[in-house]
Structure 1
Amino acid sequence: MAYAFVASETSVAQQARRKLVERYGEVPPEQAQAIVALGGDGFMLRTLHAHLPLAIPVYGMKLGRVGFLMNKHRIDDLPGRIARAHAAVLYPLEMDVVCAKGEKHHALAFNEVSLLRQSNQAAHLEIKLNETVKLDALVCDGILVSTPAGSTAYNLSAHGPILPLDANVLALTPISPFRPRRWRGAILPHRTQVSLRVLDPNKRPVSATADFHEVRDVREVTVKQSGGPGVRLLFDPEHNLEQRILDEQFAPD
């Protein structure tokens, strides 16, 4: 099997990459049968974004601070580990933004799309689902739409639900909601189109971020799951992504 090795800029990740290349050789990503990513979850997200058009499975090894999407780092038996790995198919969210001055932006997110207030003023947001208004005005610090794979990240920190990988749902989670006081978010069918309109964007500016792609001073944001084939992320069978999501719900802290 031919591999492409990519690594974060840390010295430990770069050193591990050199050792793996010496052991197994390497080819360009376009010619590889699997991409091996060395780093943390942030680097894995960048790898998924960079190589999504290639439709090549990605196998990660943890050499960063956070490794929820990664496997344990071990040089030996890489072909066997990849052959035995379980694949989780991740479908990104598509974010379409119209800014206050009319500019338009498009970006993808494997974890979440989040809106956050840019000033000391709380954000006022209108929420529509499939073109139907569900909340006339949510007063909050922000809101996010999360995939199942991203539900244990920012979404969980904002007290959103952990979603099973095969549940075909998305999480819509407010960030520090003030009004309506009792609204704590919703679990949505994965084909739902979420439209978020910023009320009074000049007085109450809001930014929108798809994973690491941020747009400032937004007026309208539309989020939906991509209709593409997704990307295959490979996990060792003894600790696959579904098991990690299950275990996270019983984590002691």
Structure 2
Amino acid sequence: MDRFLISNNKKPNDGTQNSEPAPKKKKYDESSVKVRRYLSEYLGLGFSATKSDPVNAQCVLCGQVLANSSMKPAHMNRHLSTVHPSHVGKPIEFFKRKQEAFASNCLEIAKVASVSSKALRASYAVSYLVAKQKKPHTIAECLILPALVKVSEIMFDTKTATALQSIPVSNNTISRRIEDIASDIVMQVIEQIKLTKMFALQLDESTDVSGEAQVIVFVRYQDCSDIRENILFCQNLQSRTTGEELFKVIDKFFAEEFVPQNLVGLVSISLQ
């Protein structure tokens, strides 16, 4: 027995040796990370401070942003000497002028890239008309906007026509606007349903242009003293067009949108 213990390098446990647990690894604590402060003398190296939190260093010559952990004079000197060697040793007044010019260019780019509130409203208005008339989304860019510009040139002036050209009406833009309008209408209808005590549904089974089965759900509810009817939603049926599948689609929609269980009538009509 003693030979076995010696050969396996094991000591007999006499109860005098205490087994200590292995030390636990320290968890990563974001609060322990050192946050570096931007110093005014960093501008002499060609770097200004960003408005982010934490503050980062941004080159006033090329716009490159260094992370907060890399906001060190050595890193800034290396960037200046390798990327902009012709500006090494320039006075701080030079970099101040570059900073002002860089900020001015960023402001001009933001103005050009941004869309005015009136142009945005006009874009949604045009998209709503395209959706109501069931026209291709390209008609806004190919016909509606050119017609508006031409009419403005004849009836008013070129300045008004130029302002109209800033309205975003591309194919993808019209598609996004229609989706936003549809989502907003559904939200309004759901809010009105939640305020009423009872409502009824009508299900219309049909097929789209590709032959896939879909269900259109109409809702009828009382709004004050008037009875209103709106389309609630339209979804494709993934499998069969049975009553069980229709119930699953409606039940899933009600659960996702938190529609109250105040249904008092249900009618199914097939349009196929």
TM-score scaled by structure 2? 0.20
Q: Which has the larger radius of gyration?
A: 2
**Higher helix fraction (1 or 2):** 2
Q: Which has the bigger relative contact order, CA under 8 A and spacing at least 6?
A: 1
**Higher strand fraction (1 or 2):** 1
TM-score scaled by structure 1? 0.21
